[in-house]
Every structure is written in structure tokens, then in C-alpha cells.
Structure 1
Amino acid sequence: MGKVVLVTGANSGIGLALCERLLSHDALLQLCLACRNMARAEAARHALLTSHPQAHVSLIQLDVGCVRSVLRAAQEIRHRYNRLDYLFLNAGIMPNPQLDPKALYKGLFSGRAIHMFSTGEGLLTQKDTLTSDGLQEVFATNLFGHFLLVRELEPLLCRPGCSSQVIWTSSNNARRSAFRLDDMQHKGGVEPYSSSKYASDLLSLALNRRYNNQGLYSSVICPGLVMTNLTYGILPSFFWTLILPLMWLIRIFTNTFTLTPYNGAEALFWLFMQKPESLDPMVKYHSLTSGLGNNYTQPRKMDIDDNVSSALYEKLIELECTVRKKLKDVDLEHSAEITQTEG
């Protein structure tokens, strides 16, 4: 059998486009789609098998924003496979995005218009909520759930004499200014998406420092400005109808407007083709598309450092211990209630 590849958030957008590209390249892959919505996951699987009827495509239910779901899914993955060659951490959310109309108006008539559109800087805020685990939802989904998944799948990723790749879908919106180590969940801010994506950049570096000697390598990509369900949720549909032709025109002058999920998955697919030992842990690999529609990948140095990266990793370990203890206490309390009821 071929290499084992797991993709989170694989039922649509960039994740589904990546799966299609992977199977077109290597039909012998063992591909696992890890998705929250199983109806959509089954539809994605059906579409992939229609194009590649001989492919090995399986599903697993995974809500990376829910700790119990991550633990259950990881247990099932360990049961199914004895190794994991590629782990694409692609799932992510940007809940309740709010557009600043004044910033948009000013941006349209400034020299920073393309930068603002491609990064969302100065344009977008989000309203975050709490998960059932008591964590900030964006932090839990975009970062912590994936961190916990890597920890749980360590036996499959770290195998003697073998190498594996963990590949994060980050963003142009990842900015140091939005992240604070003393508020890594971004409880006190209005840019949780930007904060979580910058934290994933930091965490990727920490994983390399910790696991490279065990054969695990981590990389980060930016898909560029891609039109997906997440993007379309930012503005009313009529606005996109008006602005999309302009965006295709603007792409002549910038390479960051990848626009389609296929183009946005370029860097993910490019990393799949590389030897992980040759990759630079300090850069983010960007999906880019020329005005003529040619796709390519370009490395760009990230605004990160080892000290903050290491400190974030330690804080995540501490939070993991706290969350696990809380779950254990809840389970013990539930067991005690059942025992009392039966008695």
C-alpha cells in the first residue's frame, strides 16, 4: 500500500482540492479525510472516488474544536494505521467576521488596497465564543485541537528510520501584533483568527526543534487569497458578485490572489513532493499565482523566534495537562453518579 495521508477539514475548499491533487499524482495513497460533518465528508469521498475509482479513501469524524473528539479520533487513527506519513492540519474557522466599512473605503483608495485585501489587515474582526471545554473557539479549532492531535499521533509520526511531515495551513493574516503569549487564547482581543494563525507559525517551529531528531518535520503554508466558504462568509453575497470581476483583474498585478482552492493548495502539494529534511523551519511556503494563471510556491521568512516559540509550546503542554485533568474529573464524577443511581 502507498503512503498514509490524513487531511483535517478535507470536505471542501483547499482541503478537498489538495486531496484531488494528491490522488491525481498518486492513486495508491491511503487517504483519510478527517472532518466534523460526516454527511459532507461522505459527499467529498464520493466525489473523489468518482474521479479516482481505485483510490483508497476513508473517513474519520473529527471536530478539532472539541478535545474529546480529538482524543476519540486519534485513538481510531492509531487503531487503523501503523504509520502516518503526512498530516495536513488544514481545518480552521473564522466565526462572525465583522468588516470595518471605513477601513474598507479608505483601503480601496490607497496604495495599500491589494495588501489589505490579501491579508485582511485592518479590515476584519471576529466575535469569539467558548467551547464546551471552556476554551476560546478559534484558538481551540485552529491551534490547540491540532496540537493535541499531533501529540496523540506521535507514535505514528515518529518511527525509527522514517520521516513524516506535519503541514499547517496558515494565513497572510497571521501577524505578531495580534498575538500575545500571556493571552495565547486571545480572550482580550478582537482578532482571534490572526492570533491563532500566528501561533501556528510559532508552534510549527517548536515542533521542529522538538521532533526533527525523531523524524518528524513541520512546515507552514499560506494559500493566498482564496474564495472558499470561509471567505464568502465575510461579506454579503451581492458584494462578492460586484467585486469578484475586479479581483480577477487585480490578480494581473499581484501573485497573492490565488482565488481558487486548487491554486491555494499549490504550496501544500509542493511540500508533499519535497524531502522534509531539505525544508527551512523558519519560512512560510506561499501559494502564488501569476497574472497568466501559473501556480508556484515561494518561501518567505516568518516573523518568529525560538524563545517565543518554545514558551508557547510549554504553555500548550500546561494547558493540555489542565484540560485532560478536567476531563478525567468529569468522567469520575459521571461514574460516581451512575453508581449512586444504580445503588
Structure 2
Amino acid sequence: MVSTRSGSSKIPDGVEKDDNRIIVVVTGANSGFGLGICEQLLSNLSLPPHTPIPISTPQLTALPPSLRGSFDEDEDEEPTKHIDENPPALTLILACRSEKKALAAKQILLDKHEKELKEREEMGEEIRRGWLEDLKIVWEGVDLDNPGGGSGVLGFCEGLKARYPHITTLYLNAGMGAFTGLDWIGFFKQNIMEGLPRAQSQPNCQYEAKGAMSADGERGLVWGTNVLAPYIMAKELIPLLRRSPPSLPFQPRIIYTSSCTSSSSKLSSEPLNDYQLIEYEKSYSASKYMGDLIMVQLDKQYGSPSPSTSTASVDQEGGEKERPVRVFTADPGCVATNFFMNGLGLVLWWAHFKFFFYHWSFVLCRLLGSTKHPVYADQGALPMLYAALIPDKYLLPSSSNPAQRFTVISERFGDTKVGYEEVGEWEKGDELGKGFMEACESHRREWRRREGME
């Protein structure tokens, strides 16, 4: 049985308040985009005071079209220099199921980061004093396939509420697809008919297991992991995000990792009749679009101040003020990770050969001009960091556009920028998004009752 603190805006007894610490939660942090997010956070936030932070410096390509006319590249570098002589420390929470993999990822992150710091020092750059001494990288276990139980999503959230004073950024990055293999004939046919870059960013030749269910047999597996689990985390952790100290240089935000395959066309004609995606032949892309629509609804709900006040509203318990929490989606493009490697072969040498081909085909796509192939996970992570760290003045308010989406723009010879998009057909899909969210909320409430939380 799990105790409840879900509605409280007060710091629990025994938890030390730390107003000068950025606390970031990254789900799926042990590999792929999650590891890339962590690498970029360490690189960007370790810079000395009054130094422009690269990923929170506004980019013209990432601005909504209505804001581009007033953009001055030289002047608008200034907002990222405002971190003063006492810059915030960082706690990086690696949220994943396996402690062993998390600890291995932590060592990879530290080794790479220490090497980067040493290279900066050798180049004569100023090194931030006390950064490594104050840095905390910790593992918090979570099983996204299970809403309940001590290691399930609700138990994970309760653990964070009991151990941390606040959260500054929640990266809802972990995801999965029920991929079982590749239609090699279809793969080569699509490459010939549509060209390599499109075939490698919008593949239609992967086999997915129809009707894959959660371990307890109660939910569609892909829906439960990619839609329900992120929704529960967002709802349960809002109090911690609202407690993020206003003195920190970055606003509290939730970032959902979407996909370049996310599209309304991936849904069935009656999507609310099978919102768990059990009858779908291909559930992954549909789940990501479903997640996108839900994030739009969450940005509407949490992204704007209450109309009753200019800055915030009184929370349900009274006393403290609620802060707006923006919710954005991000498309990291296509990078060479093991995400889609399920079913590509169990013979080790053959799997390595195919991964080698997979990697270099992405490099070739980028050389051919594809903007969706940054190749490396730390480059694909840039839209997620930008969405979390860019100042509010370079965003549209959620009251006018709750569907802002940031995407990767890979350049031919390796540079990566951030682009601006919107969730596809979000206005047309507004009622659908509400329906998906209501379904998730029903499951969240049911599991809270099962766990004795209400």
C-alpha cells in the first residue's frame, strides 16, 4: 500500500529545501535519447556564470513565426547570460527500471563529462568552481508497464514526493514499441520508391505485435507505456514542479518525447473505441500521436496562470501559490540506437552488421540533406533541452497555442539546430485529446484507489 501526498504543495517533513538546485527527472535515462538528454544537461549547465548557455540561447528556426520579426540574434543572446555568481547546482534523476543499467549510465555520463571538462581546461576556458562537488546523479527505479506497486509509476511518484523538495524539469522520454522484426523486401522497396531519407524517417516496413498486453494482462502494452504512464507522472508530479523555486533561472516544464512518425493518420477511424491500441497492426506511432494530443490538453490545464490573478492561483489546500507549468512535445528525429533493433536477429555478428548498416544509412540520409537524421542521441536531444530551458518570452502562451512542438533540424555536415512545429491537427483533434485524457484519468483514479491513495 502506498501513502498519498499527491495534492500537497508543502515540502514533506525531513526533506531539505534547496532553492539553488535544479532537479531534473529523465525517464529512460540509461540509453538512447534519455542518455543524450543527460549528456547535454551536464555540458550546458556546467558553464561558468555569465556565460551564454548554448541550448537556451534562442534560435530563429525555433521561434513561432509570429515572434520571428522581432528577433535580434545579438541582443537575444543576453537572456542566457543571467546566471549570476552563485549558479545553481544540479540533481539528475535517472528514472529507469534497472539499477544496474542506471549505474552503468551514470559512469558513462561522468566519464564523458569529466573528459569534456578537462578538454575545456586544456583549451584555456574558464572552469566553473564547485560544479562536480555539488553535482548529484541518482537512480530512481520505475516500471512503466505497471501503474501500481512499489516500483510502478504511482509508487515512483510517491517516492519522489517523499525525497525531493521540488522538480524543475520532467522529461517524459521513455517509450517502447512492440517491434518484432523487419519486412526486408518492403524495406528495400520503400527505399527505392520513396528514397532513403523518407524510408528511414517514415518507415512502414516494421512488424509490430498486434494485441501486445501489459505484464498483468490488463492494458495494451504500448498504450500503457507510451501514453498512460507519462500521463500519470505528469499529473502526480505537478505539485513538485510547482514548487520549483522562482529564483532558479529556468521555469518548471514537462517535455514529452514524441516521434517524427506521430500523425493523426496513424489512428483508426474510431480511436476512442480502442484507445488502448489493442487491435492496431501498428501501435507505436498511434501511441505517440495520442500522447501528443494529451500533452496539448495538459498544457492548456497547467500552462497558464489562473484568470483570477495575474501570476498564479491559490492551490487546493490554500496558502501557497500555484505556478504555471508548461508542457511541450519534442521530436528528436532519427538516431542510431537499439530502439528498433528488436527482431532484427539473434545471431550476434549479424545483429552487429545490421546495426553498422543502420548507423551509416542515417549518416547517408543526413549527407543527402535530410533534416530528420542527427544520427547521434545527444544531438537528437537538443529539441528537448531547448523546450525546457528557453525563456518564456520566446514562447507563445498556452492560452493562444498549447501545441508548440520542437523538432530537430540536422544539417548536412553535422551541425544540429532546433525547429518549431505544432502538434499535427491539434485544433481538429481537441475533442479527441480530451477523450484520451479522460480515459487516462479514469485509469489513474482506479489505480490510486487500488493502492489505497484515495
TM-score by length of 2: 0.68
Q: Does 1:206 pair with 2:206?
A: no
Does the Cα contact within 8 Å between 1:166 and 1:218 map onto a contact in 2?
A: yes
Quick one: higher RCO (CA 8 Å, sep 6+), 1 or 2? 2
Larger radius of gyration: 2
What residue is the counterpart of 2:184 in the other structure?
Answer: 101
Which 5+ residue runs of structure 1 have no aligned equivalent?
332-343
Q: How does 1:130-141 map to 2 (within 5 A)?
A: 130-132=214-216, 134-141=218-225
Does the Cα contact within 8 Å between 1:35 and 1:60 map onto a contact in 2?
A: yes
User: Which of 30, 51, 71 is equivalent to 1:11?
Assistant: 30
User: Which of 100, 107, 110 is equivalent to 2:193?
Assistant: 110
SS in 2 for 1:29: strand
SS in 2 for 1:3: strand
- Kindly state the Cα deviation for residue 45 of structure 1 after the two structures are TM-superposed: 1.6
* Structure richer in helix, relative to its length: 1
Output the CA distance in 1 between the equivalents of 2:199 and 2:377: 20
- Kindly state the Cα deviation for residue 97 of structure 1 after the two structures are TM-superposed: 3.3
Q: Does 1:57 pair with 2:173?
A: no
SS in 1 for 2:340: helix
SS in 2 for 1:284: strand
Does the Cα contact within 8 Å between 1:160 and 1:215 map onto a contact in 2?
A: no
SS in 2 for 1:285: strand
Which 5+ residue runs of structure 2 have no aligned equivalent?
1-19, 47-88, 115-131, 306-322, 346-350, 397-401
- Kindly state the Cα deviation for residue 316 of structure 1 after the two structures are TM-superposed: 1.4
Q: How does 1:64-79 map to 2 (within 5 A)?
A: 64-68=144-148, 69-79=152-162
Query: Given the superposition, is the C-alpha separation of residues 146 and 242 from structure 1 closer, same or farther in structure 2, using an over 3 Å criterion?
Result: closer
Query: Given the superposition, is the C-alpha separation of residues 30 and 133 from structure 1 closer, same or farther in structure 2, using an over 3 Å criterion?
Result: farther
What residue is the counterpart of 1:335 in the other structure?
Answer: none
Q: How does 1:1-343 map to 2 (within 5 A)?
A: 1-27=20-46, 28-50=89-111, 51-52=113-114, 53-54=132-133, 55-68=135-148, 69-120=152-203, 122-127=204-209, 128-132=212-216, 134-159=218-243, 162=246, 163-179=251-267, 180-212=271-303, 213=305, 214-233=323-342, 235-236=344-345, 237=351, 238-242=353-357, 244-252=359-367, 253-276=369-392, 278-280=394-396, 281-303=402-424, 304-305=426-427, 306-326=430-450
Does the Cα contact within 8 Å between 2:335 and 2:362 map onto a contact in 1?
A: no
Query: Given the superposition, is the C-alpha separation of residues 168 and 95 from structure 1 closer, same or farther in structure 2, using an over 3 Å criterion?
Result: same
- Kindly state the Cα deviation for residue 119 of structure 1 after the two structures are TM-superposed: 2.2
Identity, in percent, stands at: 25
Query: Given the superposition, is the C-alpha separation of residues 233 and 276 from structure 1 closer, same or farther in structure 2, using an over 3 Å criterion?
Result: farther
Residue 265 of structure 2 aligns to which amino acid in structure 1? Answer: S
Output the CA distance in 2 between the equivalents of 1:223 and 1:59: 24
Does the Cα contact within 8 Å between 1:5 and 1:84 map onto a contact in 2?
A: yes
TM-score by length of 1: 0.88
Output the CA distance in 2 between the equivalents of 1:112 and 1:283: 29
- Kindly state the Cα deviation for residue 240 of structure 1 after the two structures are TM-superposed: 3.5
- Kindly state the Cα deviation for residue 88 of structure 1 after the two structures are TM-superposed: 0.3
Deviations 1:163-205 (A, max 9, x none): 4100011101212122222211101112111111111110110
Query: Given the superposition, is the C-alpha separation of residues 47 and 190 from structure 1 closer, same or farther in structure 2, using an over 3 Å criterion?
Result: same
Matched residue pairs, number? Answer: 328
Query: Given the superposition, is the C-alpha separation of residues 240 and 60 from structure 1 closer, same or farther in structure 2, using an over 3 Å criterion?
Result: closer
Deviations 1:224-267 (A, max 9, x none): 11111203336342333345434322212211111111111111
33-42 or 93-102: which moved more?
93-102
Residue 336 of structure 2 aligns to which amino acid in structure 1? Answer: M
SS in 1 for 2:158: helix
- Kindly state the Cα deviation for residue 161 of structure 1 after the two structures are TM-superposed: 8.4
Query: Given the superposition, is the C-alpha separation of residues 234 and 168 from structure 1 closer, same or farther in structure 2, using an over 3 Å criterion?
Result: farther
Does the Cα contact within 8 Å between 2:177 and 2:208 map onto a contact in 1?
A: yes
- Kindly state the Cα deviation for residue 47 of structure 1 after the two structures are TM-superposed: 2.6
Output the CA distance in 2 between the equivalents of 1:116 and 1:36: 32
- Kindly state the Cα deviation for residue 7 of structure 1 after the two structures are TM-superposed: 0.5
What residue is the counterpart of 1:340 in the other structure?
Answer: none
Does the Cα contact within 8 Å between 1:185 and 1:192 map onto a contact in 2?
A: no
- Kindly state the Cα deviation for residue 327 of structure 1 after the two structures are TM-superposed: 5.0
Residue 182 of structure 2 aligns to which amino acid in structure 1? Answer: L
Does the Cα contact within 8 Å between 1:270 and 1:297 map onto a contact in 2?
A: yes
